[in-house]
Structure formats: C-alpha cells, structure tokens
Structure 1
C-alpha cells in the first residue's frame, strides 16, 4: 500500500527560497503517513512563503482551490468573531453570558462568563440530545433551534478532573454562535460575519457554512478506520502511518 501511495503522489505549488526544507518535510509526510489530499500554506512576515497541495489519489481533481475541513482551527475563527465585538465595545469577556442572552441562565448557568465559555469552562462539553443537521443551517440557527437546546441544558463537570475546564470540541462553536448573533447589531451568525467582514474583503477562502455553489469544491474527509488504527498502533512509531497511538488515547 505504501508503495502504490508513492507512485500516485502528486505535489504541486511552490515555496520561497529558504523554505525548501518545508517542502521536503511535506513530501515526507505525504509518503509516510495516511494522507490522501492535503494543503499547506504559510505566511511569514506578511509574505506567502509556502503554497503547496498534494494528493495520493490517481486522477484526483484536488487543487489549491479545494475546500478542506479545518476542524478545531475553526475555534480561532470563533475567537476572532468574539474579539471583533469586544473591539467595538459591544461585548465584555468578564460579563455574564446571561447578560447578553438571559434565557441562557437556565439550568444553573446564570453566572457563567464569556471568558469562561471561551476557556472551555462552561460545563457543556456534550449535549444530552441528538441534533438535527438541518438545525445548523443559518436560517434555522436564527430560529433559535440550537439556542433552545442550550438554554435548557444544565452544566456537567468531570469530578475526577479537578478543574472546570474540559475541551468543548464541538459544542463551544454552537454556544459562542448563539452569543455572537445576539450581540451583533445585524443579528448575523459567525459564518455570515466571517464571510462578509473578513473572508470576502480579504479574498480569503475561509468560511463557516458553505453555499450551494461551493459544494463541488469540498474535499471529503475520510476517517481512519478503527481496524487500521489498531494495526498501526501495534507498530513502532517510525513504521506507523499515523502519529497517534490508539491505546494511549483510550488510556
């Protein structure tokens, strides 16, 4: 499998003089790890010094213009959105979330501050109900479909952790968005703010929530199967085609 992977590898793009080692490392990762389609773009001192994309799939149409899921890097975009409200004097980090969103105070959450929410200390790392993906569309968000779930949710903290902090991998974005759209003068979602105030003015292809015309540009995420992860975890690290060890994750 690794041999066929090398044969199909296609790397395109450029690096500025002095950054050739980045390209070599990028190629090494593509050859040795379980990657299919990747992009790497680096700015240094305001200049784009690395702009690479690669695919290990034969006849792939993956390119620099493909849209790739950035996973938890989206939390940085959430932080930018909230910081913009603070910068405009519309939001304070030390204020209670319930000051901007009174209904949020249900379930004992009335004293939670915006800062605690942003620090993953909300006690809402997981919801007790399944969400309908349709409710995550902008128009449904504005109907408070997700907001109502959060309003009635109580906090849960891990006793063994000894801290209120627990990574809100998915839920923080939903909660922060509800705060943002209530404070934003135009009542926008974070996705709408990002597109209108940042991405489009800067010609930056960074979005939260794709439009119909953008669907064909999406590069699908292919999860690593449990069996693959199990077998790779049995190998020495220098032979594994993934960085993590599933046994360490499972404790």
Structure 2
C-alpha cells in the first residue's frame, strides 16, 4: 500500500507585489523532497517575504527554527573576491600564484582566479582531512589550511571532456587563503563579511 503524501502547510506572508513568490514557494514544497523550508526576503530594507512551510505540520517548525543551508558560503566567497577585483586589487585572469606564490607548487602555477571561481582548478577534493583546530581563524592565519592547499596537486576526472568539477568542499578554503593574502588588512573572508556586511546591516 502506497502512503499518501503529507499535506503541505505554508505559513507567513508576502507584501503586495510579491504574491508570486508564495506561489513558487508552495509549488517547490509540493514538488521537492524538503520536509521543512523557510524563505525570508528583504527588498530595499523592507521585509517583503516571510514564509515557512512543513509537510505534515506538527507545529514544531517555526520561522525561528534553525536549519542547515548548504553552499550558502559560495555567494559570500564570490562577493568577497569580487570586492577585491572591484577595488583593483585582484585580477580574475591572473594566476593565483601572483598573489600567493606558494600555491604554484605541484604544478598549479597556471591556475587562475577565474579557474577557481568557475570550479575548474582541479582541486575539487583534498586528499587529507582537515583538522578541526586548524579551522579556527587564528590557525588559518598561521597558514594551517594554506599549507595543505600549497602541497596539493591537481586532479581532473576527465580533463579531455571538461575541467569543471564542483569544488563543493574546497573552493571556500582556497578562496579564503587567496582573499586573506590580497586583502590590505589580511582578513579572512569571515572577518570581511562580519565587518563589511553583517555589522553595517
């Protein structure tokens, strides 16, 4: 016997002119595998969308429930790198080694900033596990993560077909090392986001 799909319950509201967002949110909740979802959108400083939904509502999922968001950091990495490029401090077409000479080890001397940002650096996976302690800001600034990247060689699944392979778990660490070497204050991307985006907002 096939189990009937759970009823989807959508809560919250949208400002006039943003009703289509609610329709799309509802459609996605009915179509995809999410059990719970939230969406909050600000436009010109005003909250215009505040929605949350559950399949088979138990009343336990609220707009304040904490949920994991995968790949959300990639847009922040891109903004941070674009900030440096916009300030004339970084060139997308330049080799990463121009800003981080040690990166060139293991034949990575021709990898450009654009290659990294397009997921074409040949560094989609690390061959070592990063130590939790090394992920702390002070350890990052001691090059705890950078040394792994410097010593790592490229690997492509099928270079003849494409160089692109999603750097899901690695691009952020590499971009962070590049950013902190170019940023005039030597900040990590996390520090940049906190100081230049989060605190002002």
Structure 2 residue 18 is the aligned partner of structure 1 residue 22 = no
Within 2, Cα distance between the matches of 1:135 and 1:179?
A: 17
Report what 2:58 is aligned to: 58
Q: Kindly provide the CA deviation profile for residues 191-212 of structure 1, in whole angstroms up to 9, marking residues without a partner as x.
A: 111111012212xxxxxxxxxx
Report what 1:194 is aligned to: 193
Q: Kindly provide the CA deviation profile for residues 74-131 of structure 1, in whole angstroms up to 9, marking residues without a partner as x.
A: 2111010011111222212122211111111100011211111111111101111122
Q: Kindly provide the CA deviation profile for residues 47-85 of structure 1, in whole angstroms up to 9, marking residues without a partner as x.
A: 64322123445242532x444433223211101001111
Report what 2:141 is aligned to: 142
Structure 2 residue 194 is the aligned partner of structure 1 residue 174 = no
Higher helix share: 1
Within 1, Cα distance between the matches of 2:46 and 2:192?
A: 25
SS of equivalent residue, structure 2 residue 199: helix
1:49-128 correspondence to structure 2 within 5 Å: 49-56=48-55, 58-60=58-60, 62-63=62-63, 65-128=64-127
Q: Kindly provide the CA deviation profile for residues 209-240 of structure 1, in whole angstroms up to 9, marking residues without a partner as x.
A: xxxxxxxxxxxxxxxxxxxxxxxxxxxxxxxx
RMSD, aligned CA: 2.5
Q: 1:168 to 1:161 in 2, by over 3 A?
A: farther
Within 1, Cα distance between the matches of 2:131 and 2:105?
A: 22
Q: Kindly provide the CA deviation profile for residues 136-188 of structure 1, in whole angstroms up to 9, marking residues without a partner as x.
A: 22222222121111000111122365222222111111100000011112221
Contact preservation (8 Å) 1:135, 1:145: yes
Within 2, Cα distance between the matches of 1:134 and 1:91?
A: 30
Within 1, Cα distance between the matches of 2:84 and 2:69?
A: 23
Q: CA deviation at 1:19?
A: 3.3
Within 2, Cα distance between the matches of 1:197 and 1:45?
A: 18
Count of matched residue pairs: 198
Within 1, Cα distance between the matches of 2:121 and 2:185?
A: 26
Q: Which runs of 5+ in 2 are unaligned?
A: none
Within 2, Cα distance between the matches of 1:191 and 1:45?
A: 24
Q: 1:139 to 1:60 in 2, by over 3 A?
A: farther
Within 2, Cα distance between the matches of 1:58 and 1:71?
A: 24
